[in-house]
Amino acid sequence: MKSKYFTTSPTQTKKLGENLAKNILKIPLKGKATILGLEGDLGGGKTTFLQGFARGLGIEDKILSPTFVIMKNFKVQALSFERFYHIDCYRIKSSKEILNLGFKEILSNPKNIIAIEWAERVQKIVPKNAIWIKFQFINEKTRKITISS
């Protein structure tokens, strides 16, 4: 299933992320973690979207892109999930680097939600059932966001 959205402000992009999180919270847990694969150009809205997504999960911490530390995790306030992992693969050269951070263990816990920015760089290790979110820069204010599941 594919849904396309156009946002014209960071507030709208955050709200779209928040709504997706609230919808995911309604879905019964599966055998593995829930994965979001985000792809798009710099400035496309990936981190802004995840700020809203985290809010939808009840996370009050400030969400910044973990470009230099690669991965951050947060406690989720929702009953069904425990942890939100935010991974940024912008600096990643191979999937092995993510595997060395314990990705398989994180992925094996169905109470985890994992959002991977620049996921196309590690596509080989992203599960087939991931929710893919593509961000396209239309102009200074407008973003086209396509969500595929």
pLDDT tens track, the chain, 149 positions: 899 999 999 999 999 999 999 999 998 888 999 999 999 988 889 999 999 999 999 998 888 877 777 899 999 977 789 999 999 999 888 888 888 888 999 999 999 999 999 999 999 999 999 999 999 999 989 999 999 98
pLDDT of residue 54: 95
Per the structure, the count of domains in the chain is 1
106 part of a folded domain: yes
Q: Give all strands (DSSP E) within the chain, no chain letters.
A: 2-7, 34-40, 71-75, 83-88, 112-117, 131-137, 143-148
Range of the domain at 104: 10-25+34-148
Residue 108 lies in a domain: yes
- Does any domain span residue 69? yes
Q: Looking at the domain assignment, is residue 85 inside a domain?
A: yes
In this structure, is residue 66 part of a structural domain? Answer: yes
Residue 4 domain-assigned?
no
Residue 65 lies in a domain: yes
pTM of the model: 0.92
Contact 54, 74 (CB under 8 A): yes
The span from the CA of 14 to the CA of 99, in Å, is 29
Q: Which CATH number belongs to the domain containing residue 129 in this structure?
A: 3.40.50.300
Residue 57: inside a domain, yes or no? Answer: yes
What is the token pair recorded at 135? 């961000």
Residue 137 pairs with which residues in a beta bridge?
143
Question: According to the model, what pLDDT value does residue 62 have?
Answer: 86
